[in-house]
Chains A and B, each alone.
Chain A
Amino acid sequence: MRCRVCRGSAAIEVKRHNAAFCGQHFIDHVRRQVGRTIHDHAMFGPDERLAVGVSGGKDSLALWDILHHLGYRAEGIYLDLGIGAYSQDSLSRVEAFAEERDLILHSVSLLQHYGFSIPDAAKATRRTPCSACGLSKRYVLNEEATRRGFDVLVMGHNLDDEAATLFSNVLNWNMEYLGRQRPVLPASDGLAKKVKPLIRVAERETAAYAVLAGIDYEVEECPLVGGNTVNRLKEWMAMLEHDSPGVTQHFLGGFFGRASHAFAVDIPDLHPCSKCERPTTGERCAFCRLQERAVT
């Protein structure tokens, strides 16, 4: 197989684009795709200060690397979830990544700052760890981005992440979530502007980018991820993609381009949480309620 650009030996095939690329031209291709997404969705400008939510995995580190190479001012925010050696190892990789590129990293420990870890929360609530993890990441990353005065919070959700989330929301006809699934969520009082520049890059492509760009990411899976339904949906969608290259991008791109407006919902009346003062629809926000149950 030959590179579409230079005809050298290909490192990766992108079947939905009917193309293959050598290492350097694939890196160029991915950076171009991300740059185009940022431009097309008016995600942010060259002078804005960006906070990237980083986990140590392939997607967030690839995104941070791409933003750095595109010339944006992007700092990383890492949330230590307190998942034993896995969290320690992930933090080490994020720290090494930032140091090698001379980038600024902010690290927050869920246990030290909020008094509980994800295993504590899962035990206390008897729900899946992924549910407590997602809620904690959304809350703490927003808290850090707004408190530190960043213009935009940038997240590493890739094409397959977003398509699987859309698939799940359609399977359950979750109208509220469908209405909120957008590449750009504007800022509002107490909530940072949130954007997803990897929505045109498939999960296999972010992994390939990370390998080809020499990024030492966390390859091991979170030890608490067993039974994660989004991952199961992604496996099913990978089979569909194998049979019909491009179907995932068509599904997600079609939703954003032609269908999402039909699910648009009015922003509910938000008021300050009685404990943390972050915006919420109830008396206390979901994170503070989780914290109350998890802190022993």
Chain B
Amino acid sequence: MKVIRRHPRREIHIEGPMTVRALLEHLDIVPETVLVIRDSDLLTRDQRLEADDTVELRPVISGG
């Protein structure tokens, strides 16, 4: 699957399918720090991602 990350914006490819929880664990991302978005929809950690999905991991920590 294609995974879009930000700050800076970049794309990475991960072998799928897997759940959102497994993807975040694989990338060592604390779930509280991102939204997981597919086709403008927010995904919860139990949802399954397919090999041909494009998923955005949008950071939520900002400002200061």
Contacts and interface: CB of A to CB of B under 8 A. Distances in A.
Nearest to B33: A238
Contacts of B35: 204, 207-208, 211
Given A211-B35, A238-B30, A11 B60 contact: no
Contacts of A161: 63
Interface in A69-123: none
SS class, residues of chain B in contact with chain A = loop
A231 B34 CA distance: 14
A206 B37 CA distance: 15
A223 B32 CA distance: 23
A59 B6 contact: no
A235 B61 contact: yes
A242 B31 contact: yes
A219 interface: yes
A10 interface: yes
Contacts of B41: 11
Contact of A239 (B30, B60, B62): B30
Contact of A231 (B31, B37, B46, B62): B62
Contact of B44 (A12, A59, A221, A230): A12
A57 interface: yes
Contacts of B7: 220-221
A242 B58 contact: no
Interface string B30-64: 11111101001111111100000000001111111
Contacts of B47: 1
The 4 closest A-B pairs by CB, nearest first: A228-B64, A207-B60, A238-B32, A11-B42
Interface of A: 1, 10-13, 20, 23, 55, 57-59, 130, 134, 160-161, 202-204, 206-208, 211-212, 219-222, 225, 228-231, 234-235, 238-239, 241-242
Given A1-B44, A208-B42, A238-B30, 10 more contacts: A11-B41, A13-B44, A20-B44, A57-B62, A57-B63, A207-B58, A207-B60, A225-B63, A231-B61, A231-B64
